[in-house]
Structure 1
Amino acid sequence: MQLTNLASLYQYFDDMVASDADSDTLFASSYLRGFISLAASSYGDEQQALSAQLAQEVSEQLHQARTELAPQDRQLVNNFWLELQGYFSA
C-alpha cells in the first residue's frame, strides 16, 4: 500500500468499504477520517503529504475526544491509528 498524500489515504479508506472490510475496521477508519479531514483542512488540500505535523494534530484531537467512545471502540480506533501513523513522515 502506497500512502503518500491525503488523497491516497482517502482512497485507502474508500477501498476498505469496497472490499467489505469488517465492521470494526470500517468504524475505526471512518471515525479517524473525520479527525484527519478536520486537521488537514488547516494544512492544505488533498494533495498534501501525510506529514508528522498532521499526525500530531490528529493525535491531539483524538486525545481530546477520548471520552466520546466506549473503551472497546476507543481501543479499535487507537490500534488503527497506530497502524496509519507509520505512513505519516517528518
Structure 2
Amino acid sequence: MQFKNLTALYDYLDQQVAQDVSADELFAGSYLRGFISLAGSEYGDESQPLTAQLAENISAKLLAARGELNPQDRQIVQNYWQQLQVAFNRQ
C-alpha cells in the first residue's frame, strides 16, 4: 500500500464501501478513519504526507481508546492498522 497523502488514504478507506471487502475490513477502516482524521487535523491539512510521526500519534490515540472495543474488535482494528502503517513508514 502506498498513498501520496492523507487525502489518498481517505479515498482508499471511503472506496471500500463500494468494493467487495469483508465486514471486518469495513468496520476497521471506518473506525480507523476517525482516529486518522483526528490525528491528521493536529498536523496540517489533508494534503499532508503520511509521516511516521503522524502514525505514532494515531497509534497513541488508538491505545488510549482501547477500552471502547471488545477484545475481538480491538484485534481486528489492530491488524488492519498494522497493514496501513506500512504506507506511513515509507515517507
1:70 aligned to 2:60?
no
Report matched runs for 1:10-49 at 5 Å: 10-49=10-49
Q: Structure 1 length normalisation: TM-score?
A: 0.95
Deviation by residue 1:21-52 (Cα, 9 ceiling, x = unmatched): 11110000000000000000011111100010
Q: Which runs of 5+ in 1 are unaligned?
A: none
What amino acid sits opposite 1:69 in the alignment? L
1:81 aligned partner: 81
Provide the aligned length of Structure 1 versus Structure 2: 90
Deviation by residue 1:44-69 (Cα, 9 ceiling, x = unmatched): 11110001010000000000011110
Q: Structure 2 length normalisation: TM-score?
A: 0.94
Aligned-residue sequence identity (percent) comes to: 59
User: SS of the residue aligned with 2:88?
Assistant: coil
Q: Which runs of 5+ in 2 are unaligned?
A: none
Larger proportion of helix: 2
